Amino acid sequence: MKAFVRGLLARANEVPKIHQRKVSAGFGCLTSPPPPEKGLENLTVADVLSTKDTEVDTWISCRTNDTVSDAVKNMAKHNIGSLVVLKPGDQQYIAGIVTERDYMKKIIGAGRSSKLTKVGEVMTDESKLVTVSSGTNIIKAMQLMSENHIRHVPVIDGKIVGLISMVDVVKAIVDHQNGELKRLNEFIKGDYY
């Protein structure tokens, strides 16, 4: 996986070449640029969030005073690997994040009871939390996740607006690359007109 991420990051840092196609109109040659596209350097976390399932929130939460057992059941129910942890109260203020890894290391590995332990005791606290904004470039988000050995990053624009995973980012990059290949094939065939 690390080699794959390094390859994607190296590919994203390449400077794209602009190609032009000469078209003969019978009276001379016209030069037309390829159709506009949004390059990897312009893809943002907001673009990733917009592709996620809209019937389900882009993040599922629990509260600091919930038991770890309830939080893990919530993760299993939604088939996800992390929950955003909110501070007690009606506001959407983030207190941290709790992940499968937290459960394994701090509950199972430490021999603690998940039914007696509160999420606030095992979560990654907001002071240590790595976050991005919706305007963050997806390559930068991928670098943050890779450098910090994390798979989930809350998206904060003043308050929590979503959660992205390494899978979400890689999928967005692969989808972009597939779209780029399709555009290049259409350009070569002349089908883009």
**pLDDT value at position 53?**
64
- The structure's pTM equals 0.70
Quick one: pLDDT at residue 161? 86
> Per residue in 76-108, pLDDT tens?
999 889 999 998 877 778 899 999 999 999 999
Confidence class of residue 130 from pLDDT cuts 50, 70 and 90? very high
Q: Could you tell me which residues come within 8 angstroms of residue 65 by beta carbon, excluding any fewer than 6 positions away?
A: 88, 118, 119, 120
SS (H, E, C) the chain: CHHHHHHHHHHHCCCCCCCCEEEECCCCEEEECCCCCCCHHHCEHHHHHHHCCCCCCCCCEEECCCEHHHHHHHHHHHCCCEEEEECCCCCCCEEEEEEHHHHHHHHHCCCCCCCCCEHHHHCEEHHHCCCECCCCEHHHHHHHHHHHCCCEEEEEECEEEEEEEHHHHHHHHHHHHHHHHHHHHHHHHCCCC
Using the predicted structure, report yes or no on whether residue 22 has a pLDDT greater than 70. Answer: no
Q: Would you state the pLDDT for residue 20? A: 40
Task: Sketch the domain layout of the chain as residue ranges.
Answer: 41-181
Q: pLDDT value at position 185? A: 84
What is the reported pLDDT for 42?
84
The mean pLDDT of 109-131, rounded to a whole number, is 94
pLDDT for the residue numbered 6: 60
41-181 in CATH: which number? 3.10.580.10
